[in-house]
Structure 1
Amino acid sequence: MYRLCLLLSVLLFGFTFVNAQPLVKVSGLVTDDLRSPLPLVTVSVVGQNQSVVSDDSGIYNIYSSTTSFTLKYSLLGYKSVLVEFKNGNAGRIIQNVSLTRNINELEQVTITSKQNQLRNSTTINIADIASIPSVSGNFEVVLKTLPGVSTNNELSSQYSVRGGNFDENLVYVNDVEISRPILIRNGQQEGLSFINSDLLSSAKFSAGGFESRYGDKLSSVLDVKYDRPDSSEATLNMGMLGAGFSSKILNKKSFVLAGLRYKNNTSILNRQDNKGSYAPNFTDAQLIYQQNISSKMNVQFLGSFNSGIFKLIPESRETQFGTLSTVMRLQTDYSGKEVDDYQTAGGAITFTFFPKSDLVIKWINSYFNTLERERIDIEGRYVFDEVSNSFANGNFGSIRINRGIGKYINYARNNLESENVSSELKIDQNYENHTFSLGLRFERKQYNDNLNEYSLIDSAGYIQPGGLNNFYQDNLISVKNNLTIQYYTAYIQDSYTLSANSTLQLGVRGNFNTLSKQFLLSPRLLLAYRPSTNNKIIRFTAGVYQQAPDYRSIRDFNGVLNLNQQAQRSYNTSAGLDYAFDGLGTRLKFTSEVYFKYQDRLIPYMMDNVRVKYLADEVAQGYTYGADLSIGGEFVKDLLSYFRVSLMKANQNVLNDNRGYLRRPTDQRINFSVYFQDRLLSSPTYKVHLNMLYGAKLPVGAPLVRRYSDNFNIPAYKRVDIGFSKDFLDDAGVKKPRLLDKYFSSFSAHLEVFNLLNINNTVSYLWLKDIDNVQYAIPNYLTGRQLNLKLIIKFKNSK
């Protein structure tokens, strides 16, 4: 394997001409203004990919590959210090540094640090995002490797958490709740997710048991920060599937973050069974600007524009499926086309006040507008055969039985415009052993929906006497909906330090909306205990989570709105253990959590392709329980690897259907993921990144019957992606190319192999009936094996 990886790397990157660089070692002690040692101070070489952290005694050691360089010393809550070294000699330098407290920054640090200790969340290693081999290229690929997260579609940025559906997940960017498109139905139509990985400074994810300060959804919270950068920089990434450019500009009293992205996955879609002319184009632009108005106030603007257009002129399709004894083949010729597009524009203005050292006040105002359109006019003429299982010349044998000759029509002219306006006030106050948090929020959502669609299937192949009555009509919808909903929410919570080893958080949310006219109270509790050994944390959570009805859940199969729908409600409890220990030559971290959720009010839904269709007039009860386990560490220096497994059972009982408990559409009993990184021993700048995913089979019912069922299964999802990379300016290499080192701080090339084992994963089914009125599920397969090349370049700061 070692020789194979080395050979592939050499073939990929070729030979690099380099020049030897002298090494300078800088050592010293970092103290505060009272001359006490400061641990956890980040010491970095400006313009080089090299940084260390001071130990518990404030001591640090760092190397520079040049004799002229600048060291930056930074710690949250303290003013950063720059020390310049000019034209020295290779060798060792002693440099002691003292950091001065930054009062304004320390105000935020004190409050934030206490909250971070209590959050039942996972800190995402954002440094790995660029290295994970991924077809979609979206940030959410890292979420799908986390415990508790289920997936069966690499083209989609949607994800299910602990038995919940795609609509039960919260996303925040800089404390702004993000509004996302809701109509786009297929993974192949999805473009760029909201989050730009190049602008990230931190990200936390909670799969449940999250605190009262977050909104009213049932499943999860993703909390992302685009914060003040350490220095100005620019990054360019480009590959076969798209390109992106980001810039970070740091000034004394302000900073700017800007990002542009473009994606085109035509080469991926051309490998699917549906042959035709694909034209998927997606663009995204984001801007973050923050200005310090005074020592006690700053203002931040976040702006975003996201656009996508998916065009398909289908030509033909051939799909073979079944078993060795019964092999089925569907051959289809198409006419017509599909055009789907969406545009989301919006932003937020946040005013942050620091009236005193232990008080932070935020006023957040946001606006998002989304226009989504579907234009589908496709006719397919199909031949459905059972073929012999003899295999010759790469094909199965002759036709045994013709199961049907027919045609189907898919037609849609759908338009949905949604508008979301909100204003929110958040206050955090420190008082001795308490951190009090409270918030007030007003939100108005407006929807203008024009639905006009139908699907017809004629299994006889011609229009029979009697017209449309002899067709199967999947959809025949022509409605216009206009709806405005207002939401009023408030929360209050207290994070209390019980002792040196234990903390308690109590909170409650209140919610009222003008649709269901319910007043909802959601109390939540979190208790954390850290023994004096300081190598483990034990957490217990309990709470009520209520999701008020929204437009998507109240719209039924026919587009009719159920205006009497009540909020969904879940009673959650969990217990977790984080344990750090030494093993396998590194520091390992083991995390585990068991959970139980009882839902006394759920809105059941079905999956049609990857489109969620709610049974808006029905109500269900359900329960979900499971365990999430993870272990990880740096098996190779500076490269984090981890192994994760989740076990879960999610059932529901649709009331008054006399069928009892059935599996929920997201009942994926086992999820397993591995992300492993390694270096080549003889050349550590060459790295290997392996991403493996397994998800057990998912229940699905035929959309031909408009009642919930789980009598069919999507097969288990199995995926292996591998990537090879080389950073020509990696500090692990002794030599660096002079030309690259002059202009760039990082210059890395990546070769990725998607779906290494070329497994045919099924994402959904096309449902057809044969001449005997027997219904068949024809699988829609995901992407096959594919190569991708990309470059990620970070420019040196010109200052």
Structure 2
Amino acid sequence: MNSSKIISAFLFLCFSCVLSAQKAYVKGVILDEEKHAVANVNVSSSGITIQSDVNGYFEIEIPSNKKISLIFTHVSLKMMSLTVNLKPGEVFIFNPVMNNSQEQMGEVFVSSKNKKRVQGITTIDENAIKKVPGANAGIENILKTLPGVNSNNELSTQYMVRGGNYDENLVYVNEVEVYRPFLIRSGQQEGLSFTNTDLVQNVDFSAGGFQAKYGDKLSSVLDITYRKPVRFGASFEASFLGGSASVDLVSKNKKWSAVTGVRYRNNSLLVNSQDTQTNYTPTFADIQTNINYDVSEKWQLSFLGNISQNKYLYQPLTRETRFGTAEQPMVLGIYYEGQEKDQYDTYFGALKTTYKVSPSFNVKLIGSLFHTTEKEHFDILAQYRLGNANADQGTAIEDVEFTRGIGSQLNHARNDLDALIANIEFKGFKDWKESQLEFGLKYTRESIRDRVAEWEVIDSAGFSINPPIVILSKNNEPYQPYTGPLAPYQNIRAINFNTINRFSGYAQWNKQTLIGSSQVWYTLGARFQAWNVAGTSEKGKTQAVVSPRGQFSIKPDWDKDMIFRLSAGLYYQPPFYRELRDLEGEVNPNVKAQQSVNIVLGNDYNFKMWNRSFKWVTEIYYKSLSDVNVYSIDNVRIRYAANNNAKAYAQGLDFRLNGEFVPGTESWVSFGYLKTEENYENKGYIARPTDQRLKFAMLFQDYMPNIPSVKVYLNLVYNTGLPGGSPAYSDPYLYQNRLKDYRRADIGFAKVFVDENTKSEKTGWLRKFRELSLGVEIFNVFNNQNAITNTWVRDVYSKNQYAIPNYMTSRVFNIKFNARL
């Protein structure tokens, strides 16, 4: 072979390699709505058309480093399009589901990776939400297994994120902010979370460092989307804790669709497992609907509505709590008179309209109204006896061999609240070739009518106990008679009529580009909010804040699939009504917004293990907080000082490993370390009420090898103890107590008669179901005694106080039935 032929061959080989390197590939399996493979689908791009085979498989070659549109067409299904931008040699796996009701269009801005991964957002599988057991099953039950998310109360749906409290979490449903009732003070009063899991299509969660478009809170964002039905469907669930039902409806012309759900819950099964024996009659019920109407291809309307009624009737009878040590066992016996009647009625409605001005520009107008009427009325007399139990005879109150203290406590409340919150918001989204602009403006008006009237009287051995903070006169009972005036141990009375007007907005710019051969994403944005509090004797001044935020992500051109993220920003939380009300019930209209400088550094690593997909996520975070409004937590009630006299910080490290530990199922393990402290009036740093140092959680899904239709679900959480359980009046700088570690494991077993994988194999009446299962759940499998607070009992003779733990639920069995058409 002469030299010219060698050179020609070499040039041809190099040219071929260059051409090959400039190509990318899209491949996958095409399914219909019944999850069946679709053959003979035409996949077209840049003048090239291929067809899917009998198994629905397709593979097409496309140019790299440019936006390419793929068109999917079939004789009996609606057209689908997808726009991608892939780098040289990249393979994008795409498994579309085609339907016969509407055309679908999509664009992959983040090359072959979901943009939520770039933003550091965790997406939760809606199927796991419904299956994983928990005393309060649902989205919040799953959140509590994620790193950085803490809770020590299985009766509550509230959660704390990276050192923040319950009021620092944003919750959206269909882009509309939702609210929780104001007066609830214990987890067993909560009833139902706003979110109906039967209606959910998508759940996204960010534990910090979230973008400017989301809102003005310090800790987290939970962004939920309800589904838009494309066919008729129905579901039903029943258990010892209540039941739910939902229905999907679609009009003949496909323009109208609606999903509606009804729920009922009764916590008696859980409450009856506690130390206190009660006549307990709760009724928690709601109805929700999401209605969609396609006016045209460019214009859509939707309505989200909710009516909820929570009635809580609580009549305690007796309580017997054993505590102490093996050498000195003790027992507290309490006999009650009276009852508590609470009711929370909430009404919520939101109307959203979306208009596509052009394929790259759309705008939205959202209006919402939230109305809640709440009452908390109780008169409960508790007469107690505290003593040493005879270890040989037992630890019942009848077996007390030495009485340490006797006394009584009378609690009274007539608290009523009426709140009306109205919102109107305009949002826009503009897309360019490699950039996007998002912006919005919002007005909120909050009208609050609140009456607080609650007091507590305590006596020990017949002698009245004076207030702990204000000493009216020296009291040396029982050794000397007390001649000063009698006063309630605690007494709070206030009437507040307030109106709060808020204006807020945001602008955010996103860009995707390349640095060398590495993909990078930039996000820069800012929020502003101005507000004024009216209706108090002292007129509130108008306040305003600006919150700049930024995010940078990079995917290096490595063999390993890694993304690195850095988020930083100045976050403000303007005060809501709860934060304006001080310990005496009075409103301070000039409470400033709490401020936090957040820095989050994260890494996502996708890899293969055992020939299955796994992801390892690591995040390091630091928050520097100023103008802090200090608070105390009693069960789930937060009481603020309503000032800004503190500074604080939170720092930590979170890990999460998730993937298919068992083929065909997703499980994960989470670990988190947190330290958060505050400095009030320069007295020094002490632990904040949310300082839960260590967290370990595991969510595991499995099936029996020889009986794959029997599924097993394990939900395990371990949290170190929170600062808490101290008397409400105590100065945390003089006395601070920590509760015991929180340990809980819930397990569920389900016999699956029909699911998406076996539906085609069924015959007869079973073919009518898409899912059908019957299960058994065991809550608190190991019967751990977890305490949420302490009851403090005084003995006037010894001048001692005793902390008696208020235990949560013990081991409970539940049966659950699920069906979906």
TM-score higher than 0.5 here? yes
- Counterparts of 2:279 and 2:483, CA distance in 1: 33
Q: Note closer, same or farther for the CA distance 1:117–1:583 as it changes in structure 2 (3 Å cut).
A: closer
1:370 aligned residue: 372
1:255 aligned residue: 257
Q: Deviations over 1:415-471 (max 9, x none)?
A: 011111010001010112110011000001111001111111111235597699556
- Counterparts of 2:816 and 2:753, CA distance in 1: 14
Equivalent residue runs for 1:201-350 within 5 Å: 201-251=201-251, 252-350=254-352
2:526 corresponds to which letter in structure 1? V
1:485 corresponds to which letter in structure 2? I
1:43 corresponds to which letter in structure 2? L
2:776 corresponds to which letter in structure 1? L
- Counterparts of 1:460 and 1:569, CA distance in 2: 48
Equivalent residue runs for 1:744-759 within 5 Å: 744-759=769-784
- Counterparts of 1:49 and 1:208, CA distance in 2: 40
Equivalent residue runs for 1:758-777 within 5 Å: 758-771=783-796, 772-777=798-803
Which stretch of structure 1 is more off in the superposition, 520-529 or 632-641? 632-641
Q: Note closer, same or farther for the CA distance 1:572–1:198 as it changes in structure 2 (3 Å cut).
A: same
Q: Note closer, same or farther for the CA distance 1:731–1:345 as it changes in structure 2 (3 Å cut).
A: closer
Which stretch of structure 1 is more off in the superposition, 272-281 or 604-613? 604-613
- Counterparts of 1:770 and 1:733, CA distance in 2: 65
Report the alpha carbon displacement of residue 386 of structure 1 after superposing the two structures with TM.
2.4
- Counterparts of 2:297 and 2:183, CA distance in 1: 44
Q: Note closer, same or farther for the CA distance 1:58–1:38 as it changes in structure 2 (3 Å cut).
A: farther
- Counterparts of 1:732 and 1:430, CA distance in 2: 39
Report the alpha carbon displacement of residue 44 of structure 1 after superposing the two structures with TM.
4.2
Partner SS, residue 218 of structure 2: coil
Partner SS, residue 142 of structure 1: helix
2:520 aligned residue: 502
1:512 corresponds to which letter in structure 2? A
Q: Note closer, same or farther for the CA distance 1:50–1:663 as it changes in structure 2 (3 Å cut).
A: farther
Q: Does 1:632 align with 2:634?
A: no
2:447 corresponds to which letter in structure 1? Q
Equivalent position to 2:529, from 505, 511, 519:
511
- Counterparts of 2:260 and 2:759, CA distance in 1: 33
Q: Does 1:529 align with 2:558?
A: no
- Counterparts of 1:368 and 1:156, CA distance in 2: 22
Report the alpha carbon displacement of residue 229 of structure 1 after superposing the two structures with TM.
2.9
- Counterparts of 2:451 and 2:520, CA distance in 1: 54
1:453 corresponds to which letter in structure 2? E
Q: Note closer, same or farther for the CA distance 1:683–1:104 as it changes in structure 2 (3 Å cut).
A: closer
- Counterparts of 1:598 and 1:58, CA distance in 2: 57
2:436 aligned residue: 435
Partner SS, residue 649 of structure 1: strand
Which stretch of structure 1 is more off in the superposition, 379-388 or 784-793? 379-388
Q: Note closer, same or farther for the CA distance 1:111–1:349 as it changes in structure 2 (3 Å cut).
A: farther
TM-score, scaled to structure 1: 0.86
Which stretch of structure 1 is more off in the superposition, 754-763 or 722-731? 722-731
2:116 aligned residue: 116
Q: Does 1:596 align with 2:622?
A: yes
Aligned Cα root-mean-square deviation (Å)? 3.0
1:666 aligned residue: 690
Q: Note closer, same or farther for the CA distance 1:37–1:661 as it changes in structure 2 (3 Å cut).
A: closer
Structure 2: runs of 5+ lacking an equivalent: 1-23, 44-49, 57-68, 78-94, 465-476, 534-540
Q: Note closer, same or farther for the CA distance 1:367–1:501 as it changes in structure 2 (3 Å cut).
A: same
Partner SS, residue 479 of structure 1: strand
Report the alpha carbon displacement of residue 739 of structure 1 after superposing the two structures with TM.
3.8
Report the alpha carbon displacement of residue 179 of structure 1 after superposing the two structures with TM.
2.0
2:747 aligned residue: 722
1:646 corresponds to which letter in structure 2? G
Q: Does 1:696 align with 2:714?
A: no
1:492 corresponds to which letter in structure 2? A
Max Rg structure: 2
Partner SS, residue 182 of structure 1: coil
Q: Deviations over 1:468-488 (max 9, x none)?
A: 955661x31221101110111
Q: Is the 8 A contact 2:320 2:396 kept in 1?
A: no
Equivalent position to 2:704, from 660, 680, 705:
680
Report the alpha carbon displacement of residue 183 of structure 1 after superposing the two structures with TM.
1.3
Report the alpha carbon displacement of residue 137 of structure 1 after superposing the two structures with TM.
2.7
Report the alpha carbon displacement of residue 398 of structure 1 after superposing the two structures with TM.
4.9
1:204 corresponds to which letter in structure 2? D
1:9 aligned residue: none
- Counterparts of 1:695 and 1:258, CA distance in 2: 37
Report the alpha carbon displacement of residue 766 of structure 1 after superposing the two structures with TM.
1.3
Report the alpha carbon displacement of residue 498 of structure 1 after superposing the two structures with TM.
2.9
Report the alpha carbon displacement of residue 754 of structure 1 after superposing the two structures with TM.
0.5
Q: Deviations over 1:480-521 (max 9, x none)?
A: 101110111111010011326101000000111113522201
Partner SS, residue 216 of structure 1: coil
- Counterparts of 1:498 and 1:341, CA distance in 2: 54
Which stretch of structure 1 is more off in the superposition, 275-284 or 96-105? 96-105
1:529 corresponds to which letter in structure 2? I
- Counterparts of 1:58 and 1:177, CA distance in 2: 45
Q: Deviations over 1:762-796 (max 9, x none)?
A: 0111122112222222111111111100111011x
Structure 1: runs of 5+ lacking an equivalent: 1-35, 64-75, 85-95
Q: Deviations over 1:530-551 (max 9, x none)?
A: 1234711111000011000121
1:526 corresponds to which letter in structure 2? Q
Q: Does 1:357 align with 2:320?
A: no
Report the alpha carbon displacement of residue 603 of structure 1 after superposing the two structures with TM.
0.6
Report the alpha carbon displacement of residue 51 of structure 1 after superposing the two structures with TM.
11
- Counterparts of 1:669 and 1:120, CA distance in 2: 23
Partner SS, residue 713 of structure 1: coil
Report the alpha carbon displacement of residue 636 of structure 1 after superposing the two structures with TM.
1.8
Q: Note closer, same or farther for the CA distance 1:61–1:707 as it changes in structure 2 (3 Å cut).
A: farther
Q: Is the 8 A contact 2:29 2:96 kept in 1?
A: no
- Counterparts of 2:699 and 2:272, CA distance in 1: 28
Q: Is the 8 A contact 2:695 2:718 kept in 1?
A: yes
Partner SS, residue 280 of structure 1: strand
1:713 aligned residue: 738
Q: Deviations over 1:594-628 (max 9, x none)?
A: 00000022111112343211112352111110011
Which stretch of structure 1 is more off in the superposition, 572-581 or 131-140? 131-140
Which stretch of structure 1 is more off in the superposition, 275-284 or 223-232? 223-232
Q: Note closer, same or farther for the CA distance 1:168–1:60 as it changes in structure 2 (3 Å cut).
A: farther
- Counterparts of 1:454 and 1:132, CA distance in 2: 41
1:562 aligned residue: 588
Q: Is the 8 A contact 2:591 2:644 kept in 1?
A: no
- Counterparts of 2:326 and 2:677, CA distance in 1: 33
- Counterparts of 2:546 and 2:498, CA distance in 1: 25
Calculate percent identity across the aligned residue pairs: 35
- Counterparts of 1:102 and 1:247, CA distance in 2: 18
Partner SS, residue 127 of structure 1: helix
Which stretch of structure 1 is more off in the superposition, 411-420 or 532-541? 532-541
Report the alpha carbon displacement of residue 49 of structure 1 after superposing the two structures with TM.
9.7
Alignment length (residue pairs): 730
- Counterparts of 2:203 and 2:794, CA distance in 1: 47
TM-score, scaled to structure 2: 0.84
Which stretch of structure 1 is more off in the superposition, 604-613 or 115-124? 115-124
Equivalent residue runs for 1:571-650 within 5 Å: 571-617=597-643, 619-650=645-676
1:43 aligned residue: 31
Q: Note closer, same or farther for the CA distance 1:133–1:704 as it changes in structure 2 (3 Å cut).
A: closer
- Counterparts of 1:309 and 1:784, CA distance in 2: 24
Which stretch of structure 1 is more off in the superposition, 203-212 or 220-229? 220-229
Report the alpha carbon displacement of residue 228 of structure 1 after superposing the two structures with TM.
1.8
Q: Note closer, same or farther for the CA distance 1:250–1:98 as it changes in structure 2 (3 Å cut).
A: closer
1:147 corresponds to which letter in structure 2? P
Report the alpha carbon displacement of residue 380 of structure 1 after superposing the two structures with TM.
0.6
Q: Note closer, same or farther for the CA distance 1:237–1:467 as it changes in structure 2 (3 Å cut).
A: farther
Q: Deviations over 1:381-433 (max 9, x none)?
A: 10011234x24567699535422110001111100111110100010101121
Q: Is the 8 A contact 1:606 1:708 kept in 2?
A: no
Q: Is the 8 A contact 2:532 2:542 kept in 1?
A: yes
- Counterparts of 1:123 and 1:42, CA distance in 2: 23
Equivalent residue runs for 1:18-97 within 5 Å: 39=27, 43-44=31-32, 46=34
Partner SS, residue 188 of structure 2: helix
